[in-house]
Structures are given as structure tokens and as C-alpha cells.
Amino acid sequence: MLSETNVFSKSIKIYRDDEVLPNFCTFAAKCMDQFSPADPPSFDQKMMQCCLRLARQAQGYTAPNPMVGAIVVQEGTIVGEGFHPKAGEPHAEVFALRDAGDRARGATVYVNLEPCSHYGRTPPCANALIEAGVRKVVVGMVDPNPKVAGQGIDRLRSAGIEVVVGVEEAACQQLNEAFVYRILHQRPFGILKYAMTLDGKIAATTGHSAWVTSSEARSVVHNLRASCDAVIIGGNTVRQDNPLLTSHGHGHNPLRVVMSRSLDLPTEAKLWQTSEAPTIVFTEVGTNSALQNQLRQQGVEVIELTALTPSEVMTHLYDRGAMSVLWECGGTLAAAAIGNGAVQKILAFIAPKIIGGATAPSPVGELGFTQMTQALALERVTWRSVGVDWLVEGYL
């Protein structure tokens, strides 16, 4: 796993090398207790699923690094565990080995991502595993980073350690889909989220939209924000909804981003209150200098671009270390984001309501398509109920 600097990380507890660690094993033990005797997964699969749950403890804090959990097992007993808390801090394997101590010798280590093999901000995890004298390492997936890409596995095998690769691989890939996309494409992973009525409207003809979906659906959205590094809206959403765009206590608060070419924005808005979460406004060069100065005085960062496009904004967020970006915008900006290739995943909340209105806004604006055969078909589609609403997920 590669360590990098993350400008989005918040403060979470980090343990020094000489500090007494908490009893990490409690988490894995509880995780194992949640499996019933009738569950089909093998022991290796169960342990890998527990690694994934461990990794999620740092959800929203690790960018641009992946989420990783590791567990040390000695003769069928969990003796150590850990997860990577944030970029620049020790990796999951290091915490798990510290937790296990001498019991790591001859043990099996489970980790959802291939151990790194190079020196970054921290030493190679493959070396740490070799030095600890582990017997076997079970890896969920190969690290797509070219600096790793199988080299960690090769180093372990060269040291005589048995390595098993691909246990619960699909789940491991899904957990870190944003990390994989960022590595392969040098861009953040874009998620478009919207809520609409059964007749396809995201607001009434007046623009009023509170609330389309249930409180249960909104709670899912708050968790989604907590998992993302940035959330983007357009100027019209600021004017119509005056959103806060935080996780509402569900965890990490994302960087809040506003795109406005005209900078026709209110002088007072919840987004300008930056004590709880930072805000960036992207606009074009020379637009509304007076408002720019006023926003900066309130702690809002204002960035002027020659051409304001979703692609340019995503490039800027990539340079800042963003891994996943949530688009919570209206239809016009959503269409532009899709057209710019800034959206890879769709989350559509559908409420069992009908609002009507020939001019009521829809989730996605003009894409330039004139025939149904041009429609963008989602792949790997899933759906589930959330309260009285339905959530449809798919990939472009």
C-alpha cells in the first residue's frame, strides 16, 4: 500500500510505537461472532470479511490511500488486528503485528490489499511481515499501484512465506473502488447522487425540494458523504436549497465544493460557515471580485479557472489528494459532469410520490441525445429498499 499526503484527513487516534495499544482483537472477535453456523463462507472468507469491516473504521480519512484492515491468526485464534487510520500513518499490517507481538511468529496474516514492497512515507509492509516470522499471508486483492502490483506478494514468496491471493476479491475491489479508479485513471472516482419522485422530478415547479425522500434515505446520504472526500453542487442549488452538505454527525465531513460561472451567489449561506467543514468555490477568472473578497474573508477558498468545467474541477481535486467525489447537483451540472466523464457511478433514490409539473426539474439535463438507442445503460445494477424509498445503484 502506498502512503501519500492527504489534505482531507481529519484527526483520529494514532498510536506511537512505544504506546500501549488497545485490545484490537475485540473487534475481530465480535465480527466472527456475527456469522451464524449456517453461513457458507470458509474461515478464510470470514476472516477477510472481518478485515473489510476493520478497514471501514477509517472510511473517509485515508485518501489518497486505500482502506486496509489486517488480522493475525495463530492456530485458529485471533491474536492481533489493525487498520490503516490515515495517510502518512502506519499501515494495517504494522498495527496488527504490534497487537500480536511474539504471537505473530508462525501465524497467518489476513489483509484485504497486497502488502507494499517499497519505501514511501513508511517502510515496506512486506518486510515487516517477513521480519515478524509469519508463516502465511492471505491477500484479498493485488494492489493496482504500479509501485506495488504483485511485487509485495513476490517478496513474501521469495522469503518462503505461503501467499494466497483472491479471497473475497470482489468485495475487496468494491471497498476500494475509488482508490483503484484514482490509481488507474489519475482522477477521482465520481458518484452522482440524486433523489427523485416516481415521475422523475427532483423538485416542484417552484424549485422546492424538501423533502423528496424519507429520513431513512437522507441518513444513507449522510453516511455516503462521510465516505467521500468532496461533495459538489452548482450555484443554483446554493440559491434554492441553502444546503449544509455535512455528514450530520455520521463521521468525516467532506470538502464542500460550489461551481458557479456567474458567481451570482448569496452573501449569506450555510456553506460560508467553515468552522465545521471547509468550502471551495470554483468560478471563472475575473468574475464578481467583490463577492470573491467577501467569501475569502469568511474563510471560503475561491479558485478562478480559465474555463469552469467538471473535468477541470476534478483535476484540481485529484491534485489535492481526493479519491472519491460526490455530485449532489441539479440536472444541468449533472449532465455536464456525465458529459465530461466525471461520473462513474449513479445512486438514484426513488420516492413513491408523484409531483407532476411539465417544467419541474429532472435529475439529468440535456445530454444531446435524440434517440433512445443513445441512452447510457448502467452496468452492475443493484437495488434495495430504504425506508419507503428505493435506491438504485449502477455504473456508467
d(CA 226, CA 78): 30
| Closest-CA residue to 233 (of 259, 202, 195, 265) | 259
Which residues touch 246 (CB under 8 Å, ≥6 apart)? 222, 225, 253, 254, 256, 276, 277
Strand ranges of the sheet holding 77-83, from the earlier edge strand across to the other edge: 77-83, 69-74, 108-111, 136-139, 162-165
The answer to whether 229 and 254 are in contact (CB under 8 A) is: yes
- Is 93 tagged catalytic? yes
d(CA 124, CA 94): 10
DSSP for 313-342 reads: HHHHHHHTT--EEEE---HHHHHHHHHTT-
d(CA 148, CA 133): 21
**Matching residue, cell 455528514:** 247
List Cα–Cα distances, 154 to 28, 114, 126, 146, 350, in angstroms: 28, 10, 9, 14, 47
| Closest-CA residue to 144 (of 198, 200, 91, 186) | 186
The answer to whether 117 and 151 are in contact (CB under 8 A) is: yes
The DSSP H or E segment spanning 78 is strand 77-83
d(CA 161, CA 220): 42
Q: Which of 81, 89, 93, 177 is catalytic?
A: 93
Q: Which residues are catalytic?
A: 93
